[in-house]
């Protein structure tokens, strides 16, 4: 599994492969490329899915510079790229501990 520092570097540098699903969600949820890059600074792993369907993956939590929380479901890709499976702003009704744990 790709180490978190590598994933953060990929996010920061834009080495991200978007799935059709993530692209659709980015547009629907008005999430900018800048925000995706910004969350790299604060991103932490909140869930680990080593046996995910295609590649091992993580659910990350990060905050934009304006303090917008974002969850990014990312997977390890061969080479120097991270796949963004989906991205969303977590709902406070479903998450606790500053959006890091499910209720």
pLDDT at 2: 61
pLDDT at 90: 96
Averaged over successive runs of 10 residues, the pLDDT of the chain (103 residues) comes to 85 94 96 96 95 91 96 87 95 91 88
Per-domain residue ranges of the chain: 4-91
Sequence-separated (6 or more) residues with CB below 8 Å from residue 4: 43, 44, 45, 58
CA distance 90 to 68: 10
pLDDT at 62: 97
85, HSE (Cβ side, Cα atoms, 13 Å) = 17
């Amino acid at each position: 599994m790709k180490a978190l520092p590598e994933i953060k570097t990929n996010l920061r540098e834009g080495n991200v492969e978007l799935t059709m699903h993530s692209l659709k969600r980015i547009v629907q949820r008005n999430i900018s490329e800048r925000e995706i890059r910004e969350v790299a600074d604060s991103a932490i792993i909140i869930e680990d899915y080593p046996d995910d369907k295609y590649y091992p993956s993580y659910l990350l939590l990060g905050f934009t510079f304006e303090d917008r929380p974002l969850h990014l479901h990312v997977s390890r890709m061969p080479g120097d790229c991270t796949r963004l499976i989906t991205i969303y702003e977590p709902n406070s009704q479903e998450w606790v501990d500053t959006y890091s744990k499910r209720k």
